[in-house]
Amino acid sequence: MERTICYVDEIFALLKQRLGVYTQPIVSRKKKEIPDTPFVTLISCLLSLRTKDKVTEQASRRLLTKYNTPEKIMRLTQKQIETLIYPVGFYKTKARRIREISKTLLEKYQGKVPDEFEELLTLKGVGRKTANIVMVYGHKKHGYLPIDTHCHRIPNRLGWIKTKTPEDTEHMLKKILPLQYWNDFNDLFVTFGQTICVPISPFCNRCPIEQYCKKVGVSTSR
Ligand code: SF4
């Protein structure tokens, strides 16, 4: 590792302590009546793209309580999937993708979600963020860092890194963030980004890690 983050132990301890009171992000949250499988994680993650957590949660529940394997999904028409997942963003495209992915999983992987990162990326509609999420929360593997908009924005504000894209952020963080924090990173930083270090005018006055933050690019705060 070329360099590390100053006070990283303190920062993670403070975030864990403070953020415990908030709800976990939708994709990693266990959902009653829905099995905790890599397929459920994959489909929940696809549903969550560009969609509010509450809408994702309701759509996931409607679809995945009954249709939580590729075989079961293939019993539905695209139209039926659309109806179940509406109003998630791009629900028509997502319904088509969910069917396509289920079909591929049945034809190529005996109905299982592959546990190889590169294989996941070959599935239509699966990008790095989704593949990383499936590896961490679906397959419970170590060594992966899912980066969404919050995970990209906050380390830049803190002054840990200076990156322009989530992919660069993933690459840089893997060099400087100690491995023991990788599995907690997404959950903690998504929750932190949704509640305190929000995109516009973050709540710095109630931030538990303000003393460690360089506030890069923060022009207004509360
Ligand atoms: S001090 Fe403000 S900008 Fe820095 S991490 Fe906290 S909320 Fe975000």
| Domain boundaries along the sequence of the chain | 8-24+144-212, 38-138
* Ligand 1 pocket check for 168: Cβ under 6 Å: no
**pLDDT at residue 124 in the model:** 94
Pocket mutation for ligand 1, best pick of 5, 14, 150, 218 (most atoms within 8 Å of C-beta): 218
Per residue in 142-194, pLDDT (tens digit) is 999 999 999 999 999 999 999 999 999 999 999 999 999 998 899 899 999 99
CATH architecture of 8-24+144-212: Orthogonal Bundle (1.10)
Cis peptide before 208 (omega within 30 of 0): no
Weakest mean pLDDT among 5-9, 25-29, 152-156, 185-189: 25-29
Burial 164-182 (b: 16+ CB within 10 A, else e): eebeebbebbeeebeeebb
Model-level pTM greater than 0.85? yes
Distance between CA atoms of 47 and 34, rounded to whole angstroms?
Answer: 15
158 vs 21, higher pLDDT: 158
Ligand 1 center–CA 162 separation, angstroms: 16
Ligand 1 center–CA 198 separation, angstroms: 9
Contact 115, 139 (CB under 8 A): yes
Amino acid at 13: A
CATH superfamily of 38-138: Hypothetical protein; domain 2 (1.10.340.30)
Across the chain, mean pLDDT equals 93
Contact 16, 184 (CB under 8 A): yes
3-state helix, strand, coil in the chain (%, to 5): 55, 0, 45
**pLDDT at residue 20 in the model:** 77
